Chain A
Amino acid sequence: DVKVTQSSRYLVKRTGEKVFLECVQDMDHENMFWYRQDPGLGLRLIYFSYDVKMKEKGDIPEGYSVSREKKERFSLILESASTNQTSMYLCASSSPTGVLTDTQYFGPGTRLTVL
C-alpha cells in the first residue's frame, strides 16, 4: 500500500510566522503535489515536483515555496503566514509509469489555522 504521511494533522500559527509542512511518501514516486482544499473551491494546486530539486508552480503559488531535496520528501513553506492561508493542505504523490499512471495518493492532510 502506498503511504503518504504529513508531519502534522493540526497546526496553529501566528500571522507572520514561517511555517513548514512536510510530506513523505514511501512508494518511490517521481511526482509530488501540494494542494489547498477549501469548501466550495475543491482542490487547488499550489506547487508540484516531478523530480528531485525540480518544482513547478501550480494555480496558486503566491505566498508559498517548496523544497524537494530527496525523492521521498516534499516540503511546503509559508514564508510569512497570513490569515488567508488558513486551510486544509493536502500532499499527494503519483508515478508517471506503470498500470496506475497518474493516480494520485494522498496524505491525511494538515489543517492549518493562522491567527
Chain B
Amino acid sequence: AQRVTQPEKLLSVFKGAPVELKCNYSYSGSPELFWYVQYSRQRLQLLLRHISRESIKGFTADLNKGETSFHLKKPFAQEEDSAMYYCALSGRGSNYQLIWGAGTKLIIKP
C-alpha cells in the first residue's frame, strides 16, 4: 500500500539546534517526494521537492531509496521555522494525486 509516515506529531527544539523531521514512505515504484510547509495563518506551500535537489531556507532533504525515507534537515533552527510540515509523495500513474503524511508541528524555542 502507498503510504507516507511522519512518526512525530510534534517536535520541539531550541533555536540554533539541528532539526530533523522524519518522513518514511511505502511505494512500489519511483516516487517523487515533497515537503510542504504551513506557517501560522498562511497557506500551505511547497518547501522543496527531491527532484530539484535544492536547499530552501536552509532546509535539505535527501531521498534514501534503501531506507525509503525523505527526512528534512536543517543544521541550525531559527524561530521563523516554527510551522506545520507535511511530507508528500507523488507516483506516476496516480493522476497526479499526492499521498500525504499526517504532518509534524515544529516548535522552535528561543
Name the CB-closest residue of B to A56. B95
Distance (whole angstroms) from the CB of B110 to the closest CB of chain A: 24
Classify chain A: how many residues form its interface, as a range: 20 to 34
Question: What are the residues of chain B within 8 A of A41 when measuring CB–CB?
Answer: 102
Count of inter-chain pairs, beta carbons less than 8 A: 49
Whether the Cβ atoms of A48 and B46 lie closer than 8 Å is no
Distance (whole angstroms) from the CB of B101 to the closest CB of chain A: 6
Interface pair B43/A96, CB less than 8 Å apart = no
Q: A31 within 8 Å of B by Cβ?
A: yes
Chain A contacts for B102, CB-based, 8 A: 40-42
Per the CB 8 Å criterion, the residue count for chain B at the interface is 20
Docked CA distance A42–B9 (Å): 10
- Let me know if A42 and B96 touch, CB within 8 A: no
Q: Say if the beta carbon of A26 comes within 8 Å of chain B.
A: no
Query: B residues near A, CB below 8 A?
Result: 6, 9, 32, 34, 36, 43-46, 49, 86, 90, 95-98, 100-103
Residues of A participating in the B interface, judged by any CB pair closer than 8 Å? 4, 31, 33, 40-45, 48, 50, 56, 58, 90, 92, 94, 96, 101-109
What are 21 A-B pairs with beta-carbon distances under 8 A? A4-B43, A31-B95, A31-B96, A40-B102, A41-B102, A42-B86, A43-B44, A43-B100, A43-B103, A48-B95, A90-B44, A96-B96, A102-B32, A102-B90, A103-B46, A104-B46, A104-B98, A105-B45, A105-B46, A107-B43, A108-B43
